[in-house]
Amino acid sequence: MYKLLFWIIIIAGIVLYIRHQMKKSQREDQGATPPATHTTKTARCEYCGLHLPEDEAVRRDDKTFCSWEHADAWHKQSKR
């Protein structure tokens, strides 16, 4: 009876050790690949300070704006 219990405990220990090693290697494999990141260049509106994607920004006289209205307002304000 004790021999059977001994072998059951040994086999259970081996199975738990193998499962632990498999989970550990899976975690290392997942950590090896960096997450995909998508970066977009942003621009800041000179008038209101809003940050927006650079391809959506309005350019006027080497300044960046979020809209034509802010470009006009900034130029009217700066000429005073």
pLDDT digits (tens, 9 = 90+) for 6-39: 999 999 999 999 999 998 888 777 766 666 677 8
> How far apart, in Å, are the Cα atoms of 76 and each of 47, 60, 69?
11, 13, 11
- Residue 80 is predicted with a pLDDT of 66
- Residue 18 is predicted with a pLDDT of 94
- Residue 15 is predicted with a pLDDT of 95
Q: Is the pTM of this model over 0.85?
A: no
Question: Which secondary-structure segment (H or E) carries 42?
Answer: strand 42-44
Q: How far apart are CA 37 and CA 23, in angstroms?
A: 26
